[in-house]
Amino acid sequence: MIRPFGSNTPQIAASCYIDPNADVIGDVIIGENSSVWPQTVIRGDVNYIRIGQSTNIQDGCVLHVSHAGEYNPQGAALIIGDNVTVGHKVVLHACKIGNDCLIGMGAVVMDDVVVENHVMIGAGSVVTPRKILKSGHLYLGSPCKRVRKLEAKELEYLGYSAQHYVRLKNRYIDELK
């Protein structure tokens, strides 16, 4: 369900696929060719969420923000770049994800984390608040640690994964016609 909160209504590019069993609420902007899959919640109620182009938010994800208050005067938005694959059941909370990243299934990325471009986070990893994940590396574990540089084939896979989901969302859109 796509619904407003307060004076903010989600803005979703016409080329996106939003599954009917996903919830997109409030101050949310989703770019061209992106997709949001079943049982995902994207809740831009107390701050804003921006999702770039050709990004896929897979089944069961929870995306949220931090409010402005006594302990965090500005609060924190959630910003996700272009060509990002967010695996099943990922939690992204008030963080920044760069372009061409892959967040593995069940990972948790917490407040004020910055994930630079071309990063892969392994399934089940927990990225604790305020960490910076440097470009071109694989991160794993709980708490998440840098393991190694990504290989050329893995860097190629980041783009492949995003484009696979663009093709898949197009099939879903065609099925609905």
Q: Helix, strand or coil for residue 81?
A: coil
pLDDT in tens, 89-141: 999 999 999 999 999 999 999 999 999 999 999 999 999 999 999 999 999 99
Report residue 37 as tokens: 């899959």
pLDDT at 176 (0 to 100)? 85
pLDDT at 91 (0 to 100)? 98
Residues of the chain with pLDDT under 50: none
Domain count, the chain: 1
CATH number of the domain encompassing residue 10: 2.160.10.10
Task: Give the domain range for residue 152.
Answer: 2-176
pLDDT at 98 (0 to 100)? 98
pLDDT at 50 (0 to 100)? 98
Question: Residue 177, exposed/middle/buried by CB under 10 A (0-12, 13-18, 19+)?
Answer: exposed
pLDDT at 141 (0 to 100)? 97
Predicted structure pTM score: 0.96
Q: CB neighbours (10 Å) of residue 167?
A: 9
pLDDT at 43 (0 to 100)? 98
